Structure 1
């Protein structure tokens, strides 16, 4: 979930407009946000924002605790409008930047916008601080006096969860202003990654193209890609270590001043999830490593005819898998048919993404790696970024990000404060979209070899989503704990990385020299510490949801849409209750893991 692009129909001179193998690939049209970087509408909104923030501070600072219900509602709605305008500006600046991170003009535009928005909104810091000073009994009285105000209770409850960790008004304003410094380290990471050049077989590639080689049928190409990744990351490892040392230390200082008991506390609070629920998820997955990843990779080792797996074999295609390129039109048709098979309303919501410039799909020089769906603001619409290369897994990525987009469109009705979904729930619709696409493809397959390829691909995706992300989470936990003891050398961070990799992948793997640096390219560690467990949470939740769908399909779609429309207005316990599910029950996670095990059981049975 991030940001990116330019005015007009948005074709960068150095960006390929699709290619002959994939068909025409869509690009963003950001004019729904602003017509151009120098558009009068953008200046108008910046001027309005500056004035609105000043007036808000004049009208409400020092008075929040004494407001009646009606005036508090007015304050919340004015603040929400300010959030929407600031969000629109930053969405536009960010989306342009991520589409071409190596362009100095876009970098400057983003930086300037960030600084202006930060300066303008600094006077608003008092708002959440004073909300938290309202006594609990008075807060409940206010909620009971005005139903429109009570609608905001879930968002206010999450704000008030920070009450024990709140600093003085002066310190909070200082930290708000200092946020641009932390953002600069994130941009250093993004620009360094986007600017790396990898040379494989005489061809210069960006990181996305190089990582793509790790799924090539040719083992020599996979090895060449892996060794080139190791070489280039190794040459830049001091920069990445500096970024991680600095951002991790910054977080440690913040946490210490706020009195947060663990480095993960802030993420749990923002995710609106209990620490013990996350711990139960983590423990269930780690305990299942031998039954999941270790067992599957041993199967894969046999299929590949290897004595030992190397790291470049982890995502290798199966020998029986046919090499083919999936065109963009075919990918669209596959996903949309799967969505329609579940409920036609899904395709109605998804269609504009393809037809109105809401997707940017091509791999381009300087474009940010990976994929995301950015919700922008509720009065506009989401934008999806892909780096589409025509691999079968790219189809699943499209299904995943389109699921995010559908979720964000449905939740927009909640408004700016309540539409935003905690990360743990934000992955629900995306992973469900993948599951729908996979099940559709599996149901249409009669060939046993093709069924095995589909099952194996799904198992690998689930392992990458559950096992790998929990290993990432453990890496972060160890990294942040170690950083509290002092500066970490690149070798220190490498050692932490290898400790979780060996445990999660299992004994069938050997690790080439240089693999220890592969932590360096994972953006979540820098942008959103401890984000990664949300993927495992989402996968486990969706597996349980899909099992409920299979057991009782009648009326499921309406309940599912209601859940997505709720956005961030309900706690995960409330959202899952209509389905008879409860994530606080440790057995809940076993249900999700059991689905992966059943797929592996079927794969093993095919060997007999």
Structure 2
């Protein structure tokens, strides 16, 4: 019997699941407060007078109160849908929350307009007050962003129409996943019907025949769903491009860069350094192919385990392994993670009906988080668990900040999660005495590097080119397959055998409406965490406090200023990124030396 529960507890958030009366009451309160805020802002707009400090403070307080509860509600619904994709009541609640979010965004548009209209001197005087100091960055950011958008009434209309249009298409992915059925043949010859989450775990099975059969079935089923996926993806991109055009935005990257608080120069410097580091990873992938006894790695071989990595690790053992590694870096991080394991904040059970993938979502009102994954005992599962706990710890150290100061971007969120992965992987590698264990751990690190340097780059190339082509019209499923395969072969520097053409259909990240280009922030987070980790190793245990200070500032700075303040480095030039890439280069060289015979 497990020490730690493998099913999460949502009852402590809102009792009753998708039938929760408490949750219905919460949504009612949020709706009333949004309507009151919206009415107050509309009245101010009609009056036409410049807002004073009192009104700005009242509106800001209301915005933060609603934001806190809306984030809690969004997380609750996301958890309900993830644990059972066919929960019809949860689907209805999701629509209700999306509608509330659209109303809130409409009110925020009016709020932002009032921020924009405020006289510069009055604005600075108000921000200098004690109540707004911690959220000054977020308020300035909103004020500047208002100058880049359409008039408030048009932005509000776009947001309202997006509920059943843009966001509706995004939610349709859950319907598609719910339809997907995968047939698997067990060693004893029995056939099983698996969900997408269960089938995905089989793609990295230690037995290549299992991987091959699973990948063929994965491609077959996603090929069956491809027309629905293509329609969905085209509509999502079409909505974005039309809205961007109305705003006068020329680049599809403008919004994701703004959302990630980073410059295009930083993005280009990062990808340039990645490109310089890829030849070393090619050497690793070629060596791995030889070790697996094949000429070239197919897609399903890239994450295949070698050596003892094929061992199934029980959940409790994985938990203890992670906690021990966290404790060596920060007792506080370990203590928090122990709470997450012990108090059933983690949904890890391998069962039908669950959504594929993994995520961490925060409940800022409750001061808790929830982690979702399907644990089957693989090395990749352990990495995912550490990764999501890194996200959870990031939110934990920010729980006492005002809601607007907790709104950190995806790229720094991925920094915290990847840093946690790195703590686990590197400390385990250093402690390993057995060459076979050392090889297994080193290879797991290089799998992560390959994912961030090549897989994520393929996604970025695909999405960038897809948006360029989408301006000219809809793309068919076959065209999207070709675009995906071309991106994969380029990103993997021609080292792949069989590619994964339907990857665009199977991957949730392409269908998320809250964050466009859900790809490059992963690579940013990985490399930024590499640079942070290098500093942490130099400084030792004292760095844990600096790390927490950096995390607490992630909602109050752009990434260039964050890196300059806490690390003393520039991100819009190549040096920092090359240094981060060099850690992977050293891992490759160690791997080649260890496998030379």
Query: Taking structure 1 as the reference length, what is the TM-score of the superposition?
Result: 0.91
Query: Which residue does the alignment assign to 2:501?
Result: 516
Q: Which of these residues, 111, 116, 137, is aligned with residue 154 of structure 1?
A: 137
Q: Which of these residues, 169, 182, 188, is aligned with residue 185 of structure 1?
A: 169
1:203 partner SS: strand
Matched residues in 1 for 2:534 and 2:309: separation? 30
Residues 261-305 of structure 1 deviation map (CA, whole Å, 9 limit, x = unaligned): 21111111111111111122122223432232x222111112112
> 1:128 Cα deviation (Å)?
1.7
Matched residues in 2 for 1:536 and 1:50: separation? 38
Matches within 5 A, 1:222-261: 222-261=211-250
Query: Which residue does the alignment assign to 1:570?
Result: 557
* Structure 1, 483-492 or 279-288: larger mean CA deviation: 279-288
> 1:567 Cα deviation (Å)?
4.0
Name the CA shift for 1:517/1:587 in 2 (closer, same or farther; >3 Å). Answer: same
Q: Does 1:454 align with 2:431?
A: no
Matched residues in 2 for 1:370 and 1:555: separation? 35
Q: Does 1:271 align with 2:256?
A: no
Q: Which of these residues, 45, 49, 55, is aligned with residue 36 of structure 2?
A: 55
Q: Is the 8 A contact 2:233 2:511 kept in 1?
A: yes
Q: Does 1:198 align with 2:186?
A: no
> 1:413 Cα deviation (Å)?
1.5
Query: Which residue does the alignment assign to 1:42?
Result: 23
* Structure 1, 182-191 or 131-140: larger mean CA deviation: 131-140
Matched residues in 1 for 2:428 and 2:259: separation? 36
Name the CA shift for 1:327/1:501 in 2 (closer, same or farther; >3 Å). Answer: same
Q: Does 1:83 align with 2:71?
A: no
Query: Which residue does the alignment assign to 2:580?
Result: 592
> 1:508 Cα deviation (Å)?
3.4
> 1:75 Cα deviation (Å)?
1.5
> 1:236 Cα deviation (Å)?
1.4
Matched residues in 2 for 1:578 and 1:121: separation? 33
Q: Is the 8 A contact 1:475 1:500 kept in 2?
A: yes
Matched residues in 2 for 1:310 and 1:57: separation? 54
Matches within 5 A, 1:450-599: 450-511=437-498, 515-527=500-512, 528-553=515-540, 555-576=542-563, 577-599=565-587
Where does the alignment leave 5 or more consecutive residues of structure 2 unmatched? 186-190
Q: Is the 8 A contact 2:169 2:232 kept in 1?
A: yes
Name the CA shift for 1:197/1:73 in 2 (closer, same or farther; >3 Å). Answer: same
Q: Does 1:97 align with 2:81?
A: yes
Residues 365-388 of structure 1 deviation map (CA, whole Å, 9 limit, x = unaligned): 221111111013244311111111
Structure 1 runs of 4+ aligned residues shifted over 6 Å read none
Name the CA shift for 1:59/1:52 in 2 (closer, same or farther; >3 Å). Answer: same
Where does the alignment leave 5 or more consecutive residues of structure 1 unmatched? 1-19
> 1:25 Cα deviation (Å)?
4.1
Q: What is the Cα-based RMSD across aligned positions, in Å? A: 2.1
Name the CA shift for 1:174/1:322 in 2 (closer, same or farther; >3 Å). Answer: closer
Q: Which of these residues, 351, 366, 376, is aligned with residue 338 of structure 2?
A: 351
> 1:135 Cα deviation (Å)?
4.4
Q: Does 1:68 align with 2:48?
A: no
Q: Which of these residues, 316, 325, 328, is aligned with residue 329 of structure 1?
A: 316
Q: Which of these residues, 264, 269, 290, is aligned with residue 279 of structure 2?
A: 290
1:151 partner SS: helix
Query: Taking structure 2 as the reference length, what is the TM-score of the superposition?
Result: 0.93
Name the CA shift for 1:437/1:129 in 2 (closer, same or farther; >3 Å). Answer: same
> 1:477 Cα deviation (Å)?
0.4
Name the CA shift for 1:69/1:240 in 2 (closer, same or farther; >3 Å). Answer: same
* Structure 1, 241-250 or 527-536: larger mean CA deviation: 527-536
> 1:206 Cα deviation (Å)?
1.7
> 1:459 Cα deviation (Å)?
0.6
Matched residues in 2 for 1:456 and 1:116: separation? 46
